[in-house]
Amino acid sequence: GESVGLHLPTLSVQEGDNSIINCAYSNSASDYFIWYKQESGKGPQFIIDIRSNMDKRQGQRVTVLLNKTVKHLSLQIAATQPGDSAVYFCAASTDKLIFGTGTRLQVFP
């Protein structure tokens, strides 16, 4: 079955720097991927998504890159702010969501 893994459990960045969070998936049949942000005490919040027929998608300060050859996703956050501090999950979507283990992003001044 599908599995999703994140490369680093914790990422520490300085305010204003760019952040890159990576994720790998196993099932080539997955055609839709989503990045979620989860703050303490809250449920996952949608950030950005990408379909398998795309390589890149941009939102406000966020970019998702998809490399289907190596089954790898990344989330780039530009000009990271203290409010970006949270746990970030990638999820592969089939008929349900399959989540990775999450990367905690810590932003320091």
Partner 1 sequence: DAGVTQSPTHLIKTRGQQVTLRCSPISGHKSVSWYQQVLGQGPQFIFQYYEKEERGRGNFPDRFSARQFPNYSSELNVNALLLGDSALYLCASSLTGGGYGYTFGSGTRLTVV
Contact set with partner 1 (CB under 8 A): 4, 32, 36, 41-46, 89, 91, 93-102
Nearer to partner 1, 42 or 70 (CB): 42
Q: Shortest approach of partner 1 to residue 34 CB, angstroms?
A: 8
- β-pairing, 56-58 with 4-6? unpaired
Shortest distance in whole angstroms from residue 37 CB to partner 1: 11
Closer to partner 1 at the Cβ: 98 or 107?
98
* Residue 79 and residue 65 in contact, taking contact as beta carbons nearer than 8 Å: no
Could you tell me if 22 and 83 are in contact, meaning their C-beta atoms sit under 8 angstroms apart? no
**What does the alpha-carbon distance between residue 83 and residue 71 come to, in Å, rounded to a whole number?**
29
**Which of residues 17 and 46 has its CB atom nearest to partner 1 in the complex?**
46
We find the least distance from the C-beta atom of residue 75 to partner 1, in angstroms, to be 15
Does residue 86 contact residue 105 with C-beta atoms inside 8 Å? yes
Closest approach of Cβ 20 to partner 1, in Å? Answer: 19
Q: Which is nearer to partner 1, 4 or 64 (CB)?
A: 4
**Token duo for residue 72:** 């790898």
Q: What tokens were used for 104?
A: 């905690």
